[in-house]
Structures are given as C-alpha cells and as structure tokens.
Amino acid sequence: MLTAKFDQLVKQLRILPGVGQKSAQRMALHLLTKKRPQGMALAQALDEAMRDIVECQRCHSFSDDAVCPLCQDPRRDDALLCVVETAADVMAIEQTAGYRGRYFVLGGHLSPIDGISADDLNIEQLVWRVKQEPVEELILATGTTVEGQTTAHFINEAVSRHVNKVTRLAQGVPMGGELEYLDSMTLGQAMQNRSFL
Amino acid sequence: MLTAKFDQLVKQLRILPGVGQKSAQRMALHLLTKKRPQGMALAQALDEAMRDIVECQRCHSFSDDAVCPLCQDPRRDDALLCVVETAADVMAIEQTAGYRGRYFVLGGHLSPIDGISADDLNIEQLVWRVKQEPVEELILATGTTVEGQTTAHFINEAVSRHVNKVTRLAQGVPMGGELEYLDSMTLGQAMQNRSFL
C-alpha cells in the first residue's frame, strides 16, 4: 500500500499465527516508527532460530546443539520419562516446575484421517530407548483428544513388556473450574476417578 | 525455556505490539515446527524494511526511495493536499479508495504535555510547500482528539494566507452506528452539523 518493502513486510508478518492484515500493518508501522533497532534484532533472532535450532537427538524436542539442555541436565531423574506430542507440551510441563524427569517428544499423534501412522512419529526410537535405558515410569502425557488417547494406548502396547509402570495424566475438573460450565464428559470422568480428601 | 536461541526469539517477538509471552511462544513454536522457510523470509523482509525504508522527502510518509510512490504518481491531483499525523493515517485514507490528491505527514500532533511543539513536527515544511506550490485545498485530517484539533487550528493559522480553502474531515455518526450507544459529544456534533437529505 505505501511502498513495496512495507507491503512485503506486512505480507510476511501475516504468517505469524493470529496475525491478520490489520495487526500486521500495525506491527509494521510500530516497528518502522519507533523500534527500528529492535526490529533488526528481531530479524536476527528469527533468522538464527530458523537456521540453528535443530531436533534434540535424544528427546526430539528443540535444541541449539545435538542434545538439548533438558537431556544434558545431570540433576534430572533418568528413571522418569514423560512422553508428549510436541515441544510446546514440554514447555507447558516445564512451566509447572513440578516435574524433574526426562522428556520424549513424539512429533504428533496417530491420525489415520491425516495419514499419520506410527512410522511418522518417533515411536520406534521411544521403544528402543525404554529397552536400552532403566526407565522405571513412563508417563503418557499425550492429549485427551481421541487421537491423543489412541496414541497413548498404542504406545502402552508397544512398551509394556519393557517398562514396569506406565501412567497417564490425571483427568478431572480443572483448577478454578465451575462445575455448571464443565462439559459432561470431563465431569463424568472426574466423578468416576474421585479420590479421598 | 527450551534453548537459548528459542528464548531469544520469544523475547524479541514480544516487541511486536499486542504480543505477550504466551503469543510469542506460540509464534516461535509455530514457525519452528512448520514454517521455517517462511520464518526466514520474514526475517529478511523485516531486516530490509528496517534498513531501507526512509522518510519521503516530499510528504514525510514512508518510502523505499527518496520520493514515495504516492508523491510520484502523475495521476494524483496536486491541487488537493491532505495533512495527516502519521503514515498509518495515509494508509487508512488510501484504503477508502475515495481520495485522489496528495498527502503530507506531520509526524504527530502538538502536545505541550509530552513536550511536542511545532518545531518537532513538519509544519515549517508544510507552510513552505503551500507557499511554493499551487495547492487549492488543504484538508486537515488530524485526529479529533484535543491535540489533533489544536494542531489543525495551529496549521490553519499558519497557512490561511497562502491557501484559499482549508477544510477538515466531517464529524458525525459513524456508519453502522447505533445512536443510543454513541457518546454525547459526537451525537451533539452530528446534530449541529446536520445536512439536507
């Protein structure tokens, strides 16, 4: 609209999730008017991240090096392995600051409709790992969608001979949840899995 | 959280307006997982825009060259000059597709509280331009804030000897506006400036 380079910037900003034409224009104008050095720093950080961040060889999460900081950390408990769908899930669990074991990222969930089979996920590497290493508990922290649950059952079948304990995340009423607004599936689960006070 | 370069990217994404920690993480993960080439293209567009976009020598809007496409366009009417606060306003008016004159960007509005006086805006250049060039109508399209209106009055004083017609944007009920939700200042203005059907 204003200049070719401005239009190009707006167009490229729209690849960001949740950013439409109006927000992209606002971002571009904001950076150009007041934040050029920061805009350049963002360009550099983006370029470096896209080029240099690789998949960790051990857990398949994101890493700057061949093995990520979480896999390298000697204070982590090797006996606990938490299986998640994506690196975003690793980050979400890390933010709870309550888990001190290791992670393993599947790279998605089984989904026949989308043509994603076990070979498309890191399931073989996971089975290999629990065979080789002394994992005492495997926590299946896949999503509670149909695909996530199917994936969890599939993995359970594949690893049950090699791991003593296979667990999954508790399902129930979320914190701050008002019962009347909760879906009946969740409420039913919570009732079934009720525990002593 | 995951890796140093990831954290750096999230931190830099937060300089974008309306982007907090959560959105920045989501953006970074989205780009890393599925859109690396697009992420690199964004980095390049950002870098080029920050480095190469300059202020147009004639209208002070943004431009890739010394003079912007709008000032160069021979089909534009030189007799009409629309004065706005920022390049974003130029873009907003261009999107109406109803104006075919030229633009002049002040670079803000007068604001004694923020220490912005006439010398901080491009008012001198504007006066010089209307003295030199055959501008028949000067449209003061500054904001309808107190500062914007003050700026319009100040410019009117400065240019009135050199331009025949000085106009301002109509004030009234916005399109699709329901009267009962409109603020009384706007409604009062609309009543005062009522026109024949």
* Placement of tokens 């070719």 in the chain: A4
Is pLDDT at A176 greater than 90 in this prediction? no
pLDDT average, residue stretch B96-110: 93
CA distance A7 to B48: 12
Radius of gyration of chain A (CA): 21
Amino acid at A19: V
CB < 8 Å & 24+ apart, contacts of A92-100:
A93/A141, A94/A70, A94/B1, A94/B2, A95/B1, A100/A75, A100/A76
ipTM: 0.82
* B3 contacts A87? CB cut-off 8 A: no
The answer for residues whose C-beta is within 8 angstroms of residue A158's C-beta and 6 or more apart is: A123, A126, A127
The residues spanned by each domain of chain B are 4-52, 62-168
Residues B134 and B79: beta-carbon distance below 8 Å = yes
CA distance B83 to B104: 5
Residue of B158, B167, B150 lying closest to B123 (CA atoms): B158
Radius of gyration of chain B (CA): 21
Surface of B (74-113) touching A: CB under 8 A: 86-88, 90-91, 94-95
Q: What is the DSSP letter of B161?
A: T
* B16 contacts A87? CB cut-off 8 A: no
Q: Which of B1, B64, B90 is the closest to A5 by Cβ?
A: B64
Residue B15 sits at the chain A interface (C-beta within 8 Å): yes
CA distance B44 to A12: 9
Residues B60 and B42: beta-carbon distance below 8 Å = no
What digits encode the pLDDT tens for the residues A8-28? 999 999 999 999 999 999 999
Distance from CA of B147 to the nearest CA of A (A): 19
What digits encode the pLDDT tens for the residues A29-69? 999 988 999 999 999 999 999 999 999 999 999 999 999 99
Residue A131 sits at the chain B interface (C-beta within 8 Å): no
Residue of A86, A80, A123 lying closest to A107 (CA atoms): A86
Residue B43 sits at the chain A interface (C-beta within 8 Å): yes
- The CATH fold of domain A62-168: Dna Topoisomerase Vi A Subunit; Chain: A, domain 2 (3.40.1360)
Phi, psi of A36 (to 5 degrees): -65, -45
Residues of chain A in contact with residue B32, where contact means CB-CB under 8 angstroms, are 49-50, 53, 62, 87
Q: Do domains B4-52 and B62-168 have the same CATH topology?
A: no
HEC secondary structure over A127-169: HHHHHHCCCCEEEECCCCCHHHHHHHHHHHHHHCCCCCEEEEC
* A64 contacts B4? CB cut-off 8 A: yes
The answer for residues whose C-beta is within 8 angstroms of residue B141's C-beta and 6 or more apart is: B82, B83, B84, B89, B93, B168, B169
Residue B128 pLDDT: 95
Residue B196 pLDDT: 85
CA distance A111 to A147: 6
The answer for residues whose C-beta is within 8 angstroms of residue B142's C-beta and 6 or more apart is: B83, B84, B85, B106, B109, B148, B149, B151, B152, B155
What digits encode the pLDDT tens for the residues A121-146? 999 999 999 999 989 999 999 998 99
Q: Which of A3, A13, A87 is the closest to B2 by Cβ?
A: A87
Domain covering B4-52 in this structure, CATH number: 1.10.8.420
Find how far residue A83's CA is from the centre of its chain.
Answer: 10
